[in-house]
Homo-oligomer: A and B are copies of this chain.
Amino acid sequence: MTEMSRNSGQEGGQPGRIGIGLELDATHLKILEVLRENGRISVAALAERVGISRANAYTRFEALRADGAIKRFTAEIDHVRAGLGITALIFVTVRQQMWRQFRAQLAQMPEVEYCAITTGQHDAMIQVRVTDVAAVHAMVTDRLANIPAVKATETVFILDEVLRRPYVLPSDRGPGRSSRRPPADPAAGSARSTGPARSAGPAGAAGPAGSTGAEVPLGMMRFVGAAEGRAQLQQDV
């Protein structure tokens, strides 16, 4: 299972915990930078590219894995080549108090590649990969519609995936804080990595959670209030 709970690497924790077990310095970020683009690089080559000794690279590599900063290593597969030419996004409104059931059902659907709980008009967005358009229809009408937790859905097809970065890092915008100019796209490269797969951690949980339901204009951005039942999110899930 690929359930992402929000806790640290090896230990389970409370949902609210964010604890940092490892201070990531510039060298750590550099390692992550190489690894996200070439997950299969040897530690020796990694050490050379980062500019540290092999022994140091092994130590840091292991630390990053143990800490959970590196969750797992995966191969990016061409879905079209693999026979899954259709990608769709399904926005789901979940009936309050039924989040647990919804998550359980999700785990039973192998065509679901990604699911995130969001603010806004809907409660969750799921991304599915299937062989044909009919399969999307079947998925929505047969599978999702039969889940009591699902109140409503809205489907959108993905026509093209313009960009997919392995994983964004803070170092992408320099050592500093936020809004600065990017140093241009550092795309090319190859990465390699090794290690057992583990449950993913939680994403950011800050932000306008538990909003009131009213639209709150904030500059050009529209914070669409969460749907009813969102307040139960933490207790229910």
The reply to whether B73 and A69 contact each other, CB–CB distance below 8 Å, is no
Residues of the B chain whose Cβ atoms lie less than 8 Å from the Cβ of A162: 3-4, 103, 106, 115-117, 124, 199-200
The reply to whether B196 and A190 contact each other, CB–CB distance below 8 Å, is yes
Task: Report the nearest B residue to A108, measured CB to CB.
Answer: B182
Question: Could you tell me the distance between the alpha carbons of A194 and B191 in the complex, rounded to whole angstroms?
Answer: 4
The reply to whether B40 and A187 contact each other, CB–CB distance below 8 Å, is no
Residues of the B chain whose Cβ atoms lie less than 8 Å from the Cβ of A81: 20, 22, 24, 67-69, 201
The reply to whether A116 and B70 contact each other, CB–CB distance below 8 Å, is no
Within 8 A of B (CB), among A165-183: 165-170, 172-173, 177-179, 182-183
Using A70-B75, A85-B18 as known contacts, say yes or no to A156 and B118 having CB atoms under 8 A apart: yes
Quote the shortest CB–CB distance from A47 to chain B (angstroms).
16
Question: Could you tell me the distance between the alpha carbons of A154 and B91 in the complex, rounded to whole angstroms?
Answer: 15
The reply to whether B75 and A76 contact each other, CB–CB distance below 8 Å, is no
Residues of the B chain whose Cβ atoms lie less than 8 Å from the Cβ of A221: 136-137, 140-141, 153, 155
Within 8 A of B (CB), among A1-46: 1-4, 6, 15, 18, 20, 22, 24, 29, 32, 35-42
Question: Could you tell me the distance between the alpha carbons of A76 and B39 in the complex, rounded to whole angstroms?
Answer: 9
Quote the shortest CB–CB distance from A87 to chain B (angstroms).
5
Quote the shortest CB–CB distance from A203 to chain B (angstroms).
4
Residues of the B chain whose Cβ atoms lie less than 8 Å from the Cβ of A35: 74-75, 77
Q: Does chain B have a CB within 8 A of A134? A: yes
Q: With A116-B161, A161-B201 given, can you name 13 additional A-B contacts, CB distance below 8 Å?
A: A32-B75, A39-B72, A40-B73, A40-B193, A70-B78, A88-B207, A89-B118, A106-B162, A114-B163, A134-B178, A136-B221, A153-B221, A158-B204
A residues engaging B (CB < 8 A)? 1-4, 6, 15, 18, 20, 22, 24, 29, 32, 35-42, 67-89, 103, 106-120, 124-126, 128-143, 145, 153-170, 172-173, 177-179, 182-209, 218-224, 233, 237
